[in-house]
Amino acid sequence: MGDALRVGLVGIGNISGQYLATLPGLSGVSLVAAADLDPSRQVPDVRMMTPAALYEADDVDLVLNLTIPRAHAEVALSAIAAGKHVYNEKPLALSTVEGQEVLAAASAAGVRVGCAPDTVLGTGTQTARRCIDDGLIGEPVAATAFMVTPGHERWHPAPEFYYQPGGGPLFDMGPYYLTALVTLLGPVRRVSGMSSTPHPERTIGNGPRAGTTFPVAVPTHITGTLEHANGALTTLLMSFDVWEANLPRIEVYGTSGSLSVPDPNNFTGEVRVFRPETAGRSDSAAWTTVAPSAGHRHAGRGTGVADLATALATNTDHRANGTLAYHVLDVMESLLRAAETATTQDITSTCPRPAPVT
């Protein structure tokens, strides 16, 4: 491998635009090729290939897998079989069975697996983590995480995949929230949950197919409780059935204060801390804004690829890694199983907290 990690992109869909905006500005990374099953999709000034040819290309070191969720494992396994590192969009795979296959294949081939989200590498989540690590709120004892929206069919011109296996609010947005929670509080060891599907059909609200109805095949309202290995308890709500709410994104509650964490779908955002000395005050000044003190500034989707490139060059662990993504997948799958069976589910996987971005 040369000085830069040579990247081949597979899947030129909606999310690819954000990666294509970030990749040119990343050090140690070079986009050399792109592929999509639809030949009409092109990346300007980048060599276009078929997916099969891209996997075998001698000048591609890593396959950036931006396909739809049900293709994540298939594309990753094809890339690994060709001896390439792979970085998946979230989730890692549709199931833990597929996720295990990807990680096992990568281990046998001696290549690395990275996986979105890398939003946790920005100043928002990393500054919040530093507040916890520096003891600003004492020992974390609990957290809340809320993601509510009326659904993606209002704006997406082809939203069906959001309501099929691999979609729903948990698999679509859960990786952002759960990856942030593991970054802040560590891995999860047990979950319980409940779920519902209030609307068996959805109607497309935007684009040339507006007015088209389609069936819903996954739960669209999920509530759960996560027990972290350190004993902290997180209350989670993920919904495509809420028109509007006044809820925080993530809050962490400690023995000496509380922490407000910005939207984990973004790289930046305001971090605020409440300390006991301000107790009794009802005005907003009771919360203190914390200046960004950690994380990549000016980060964007693709920062995790650059982190992987740096880790390869320095023989260290990359942060948005397959083990973390698999643990998040295991938590999501276990939450749905807990809801279906009305049981508490032990999480069999674990992962270390990724190293902080200082």
Extents of the domains making up the chain = 5-115, 121-296+328-346
pLDDT score of 322: 98
* pLDDT higher than threshold 90 for residue 296: yes
Question: CA nearest 356: which of 291, 270, 293, 269?
Answer: 293
On the question of pLDDT at 280 being above 70, the answer is: no
Instruction: Kindly state the average pLDDT of the residues 71-76.
Output: 97
Provide the token pair at 69: 């969720």
Confidence of residue 279 (pLDDT cuts 50, 70, 90): low
* CB within 8 Å of 140: residues ≥ 6 apart: 132, 184, 185, 230, 232, 252, 253, 254
**pLDDT tens digit sequence for 212-227:** 999 999 999 999 999 9
Lowest mean per-residue pLDDT among 99-103, 109-113, 202-206, 284-288: 284-288
Integer-rounded Cα radius of gyration of the chain: 20
The pLDDT confidence band at residue 284, using thresholds 50, 70 and 90, is low
**pLDDT score recorded for residue 354:** 95
pLDDT at residue number 3: 83
Same fold: 5-115 with 121-296+328-346: no
Which of 171, 169, 179, 187 has the alpha carbon at shortest distance from 95? 171
Residue 286's pLDDT band, with cuts at 50, 70 and 90, is confident
* Per-residue pLDDT, 14: 87
Residue 104 phi/psi, 5° resolution? Answer: -65, -40
DSSP secondary structure code for residue 57 in this structure: -
Written as six digits, the tokens of 248 are 């925080």
Question: In the predicted model, is pLDDT for residue 1 greater than 50?
Answer: no
Mean pLDDT value of segment 89-108: 97
pLDDT for the residue 191: 98
| 117-164 pLDDT, tens digit each | 999 999 999 999 999 999 999 999 999 999 999 999 999 999 999 999
* Mean pLDDT calculated for residue range 204-211: 95
pLDDT band at 277 (very low <50, low <70, confident <90, very high): confident
Could you read off the pLDDT of 19-31 as tens digits, one per residue?
A: 999 999 999 999 9
C-beta neighbour count of 70 within 10 angstroms: 15
The verdict on domain 5-115 having CATH code 3.40.50.720 is yes
Domain covering 121-296+328-346 in this structure, CATH number:
3.30.360.10
For the chain, percent of residues with pLDDT exceeding 90:
94
pLDDT at 35 over 60: yes
pLDDT band (50, 70, 90) for residue 166: confident
What mean pLDDT is predicted for residues 73-81?
98
- Using alpha carbons only, give the angle 89, 235, 199 rounded to the nearest 5 degrees: 70
pTM (predicted TM-score)? 0.95
pLDDT for 235 beyond 60: yes
- Distance between CA atoms of residues 148 and 242, nearest Å: 6
pLDDT of residue 278: 65
